[in-house]
Amino acid sequence: MSLIDGKKIAQEILNELKKLSVPTKKLVAVLSGDDSASLSFLRQKEKVAHELGVDFELRQFSESLNQKELEDAVREISQDDSVGGVIVQLPLPSKYNRTKIVDVIDIEKDVDALREGNILLPPAAFSLKYILDDIGFDPADKKAVVVGYGFLIGQPITKWLVSKNAKVVIIEKEEFNLTALKEADLVVMGTGHPDLIRGEHLKQGVVVLDYGYGVVDGKVCGDVEIESVSKVASYLTPTPGGTGPVVVAALFENFYNSFRNF
């Protein structure tokens, strides 16, 4: 079994971006509330921005804003000529309609590729492409299981795998399909449910990519019970240090690509 070094893959992406001109416009992240996990993710993005020399700004808003007020705030940021990219950190508090808020971002500044019709590849799917390329895994005609069909991970990854002619089965964590898991050549996790998948659920030689994120006893962990899965998987991403850094690097590649399209 080989642990996939997401930090190494991410650094290779960033090294290529460093060869390009730094965008002169800033990247603005919008956060509603003060969720600690969201703040942690944003600090990772801020750290990468500093490494690249990108002007990064965090705009934090109170959850007391109503739907229209938050939409107006995001729209104003997007319409600012000094802004080249806008991130709305998800998940938003449940009181908000996510789609309506995302849709006020100008599509050319939607670097998370959340809006319908955006030609950019969502960072989760982009990161999957990079990781599979790194290990030499072609998903065409392979059996792939995506566990968790969320907006940020499961949905864009499923769409990309289907576009690459993978045979995809979607499993929600409430409806465990052990037969599909046992037959899978590739398993992609994205539920945020710690230790959901164990080695006995999987066949020998499977590739397991874990996009899940949780905290148990103060320790960050993914959806995979890594000790047992490492005994059957041919490749496996750890958490932290696996998929996360590659997702962030892919986001910045989108920012550079969108900026070149201005």
Strand 143-147, strand 186-189: pairing: parallel
- Say yes or no to pLDDT of 261 above 60: no
> In 3-state terms, what secondary structure has residue 124?
helix
Share of the chain above pLDDT 70, in %: 98
Read off the pLDDT band of 173 (50, 70, 90).
Answer: confident
Farthest CA pair distance, the chain: 54
The structure's pTM equals 0.95
For residue 138, the surrounding DSSP H or E stretch is: none
Confidence at residue 118, expressed as pLDDT on a 0 to 100 scale: 93
Confidence at residue 120, expressed as pLDDT on a 0 to 100 scale: 94
* pLDDT single digits (tens) 82-109: 999 999 999 999 999 999 999 999 999 9
Average pLDDT over residues 219-245: 95
* pLDDT single digits (tens) 134-163: 999 999 999 999 999 999 999 999 999 999
- Say yes or no to pLDDT of 262 above 70: no
Confidence at residue 174, expressed as pLDDT on a 0 to 100 scale: 73
The DSSP annotation for 141-157 comes to T-EEEEE---TTTHHHH
- Say yes or no to pLDDT of 5 above 70: yes
**How far apart are alpha carbons 43 and 49 in whole angstroms?**
10
First to last CA, the chain: 44
- Say yes or no to pLDDT of 34 above 80: yes
* pLDDT single digits (tens) 181-225: 999 999 999 999 999 999 999 999 999 999 998 888 878 899 999
Three-class SS of the chain: CEECCHHHHHHHHHHHHCCCCCCCCEEEEEEECCCHHHHHHHHHHHHHHHHHCCCEEEEEECCCCCHHHHHHHHHHHHHCCCEEEEEECCCCCCCCCHHHHHCCCCHHHECCCCCCCCCCCCHHHHHHHHHHHHHCCCCCCCEEEEECCCCCCHHHHHHHHHHCCCEEEEECCCCCCHHHHHHCCEEEECCCCCCCECHHHCCCCCEEEECCCEEECCEEECCECHHHHCCCCCEECCCCCCHHHHHHHHHHHHHHHHHHCC
Find, among 188, 242, 254, the residue nearest to 8 by Cα. 242
Strand 167-171, strand 143-147: pairing: parallel
Confidence at residue 216, expressed as pLDDT on a 0 to 100 scale: 82
Read off the pLDDT band of 239 (50, 70, 90).
Answer: very high
Mean pLDDT, the chain, integer: 95
Average pLDDT over residues 233-244: 96
Which residue ranges form the domains of the chain, and what is each CATH number? 22-106 (3.40.50.10860), 123-243 (3.40.50.720)
